[in-house]
Structure 1
Amino acid sequence: MHAAITIVRYKKRFIYFAVSAMGIHSLYLWFKKSVLFHKTLGCGKGGTFSKAPDWQQWGLLVVKEDLSRFVEKDINHLQLIKELYGSFIADWYRLFGCELWTVILEPIEGHGTWNGKKAFGNLPPKSSYEGPIAILTRASIRINKLHRFWAHVEGAAEEMTRADGFLFSQGIGEWLWVRQATLSFWQSKEQMKNFAYKMKNHKEIIQKTREEKWYSEDMFVRFKVLKTTGSIRGIEPVQLFQKTND
């Protein structure tokens, strides 16, 4: 099983169509039998948890049985989009001149659910893999705990961007105030764990979420990073692999 995530950036004049794509693309993917799980996602400003949406930037996630054939293949980015999501979505992005960045991931360990589903299959809590890694943390925040959550996450987000081994992060979510997620990339699992369990602010948040039961649902998944291609704001943000021709 593999996952593909594309971050999509629209020109300002096409924001209406960017918002419309949330529902249109979700419905389109719902009818595709090869898609095991999918989400259309908003993006927050600043790269991590954010109450302020970035109306130009959006995310698209699919889970499929096998995407390994695209990892080594030299393929045009829009052709890859077509293979991952279908011709309708690829033509949509081409029509609106979107900037695209895509990553193909292999889930290796994790726990929790997304809308009651094990979105990335049955995963072990731990694995022996120690190389470059991507982390997806996702939670539905209880309404009566929102003030506690937002009062604490800013410090942890700032810590993360300064952490050894940190490469890039993007805040994503179905509803950025309440259903929040962060996708982050690290040079190694060890460096990520040093941040998660040793840096003060993040360690305190982990403890408080358990003690005060901030979340009605949560999920944490670690992935091998198999392929990246494209750019965001003209930059390939992870640069673990050479890009394919775009």
Structure 2
Amino acid sequence: MDEIFGKIGTAQTLSQKIERRIEEAIRQKKLLIGAKLPSERELCEMFAVSRTALREALRRLSARGLIQIKKGSGMYVSELKIEDAIESLNLYYDLSFDSGLISQIIEVRRVFEPEIARMAANNRTDADLEILNRNISDLADCDPDNTQMEADIINKFHLNVAKATGNPIVIITMEPIYSLLPRMRNLIYANVDGEKDFTVKAHRAILESIRQQDGEKAFQEMVVQIERTLEVYTQYLKK
């Protein structure tokens, strides 16, 4: 492991240099998932650095989820999961939530969601249809005064359409966006008369297109739904 844990030298921010060196080794798969790192003493000798600089680097790597420190056992390269990436984006969107972010989210949805609906129509399974159908039934039965529950159901529907694509990159990209839909809907639609009927009808049309595996129709029905969202946003939120 000399090429990974060679001497750092006397450059500034030794802990950052150590962190970068170990991260690069993980990215380049010189250190594989589950691999055990040398002990602190061994790493200090290999890098020719103090234990203080090393521990700061290890602390940051652990905080970022790149390594796992097991007391009494050692340090190991972590397995990064889809949930980890989604959680980081969720935090970013939560901290950045404002009217400007809502506008940007709607723009992204206009670009991606029609194509996601097309992919879902092409790749969906019977199990996907059952889940989506249950979402629509729950939406139709939801008390119109319970805007929070209604928003949560719509969030689930769009997330399940993304899952029906069978593409994990779609899920990573869109799930943090969908997590904002309840907050967006409560803000935008709270006082929009008749929106419940339109929403149920629009989502039923999307589901039926997916059921028929008609990718082009699913694309167009999603366009209708997103354009309505943009229309309501422009009319109400910008007042």
**What TM-score range do you get, normalising by the shorter chain?**
under 0.3
Larger radius of gyration: 2
Question: Higher relative contact order by CA 8 Å / sep ≥ 6: 1 or 2?
Answer: 1
Please, what TM-score do these two structures have when normalized by structure 1?
0.26
More strand by share: 1
Normalized per residue, which structure has more helix? Answer: 2
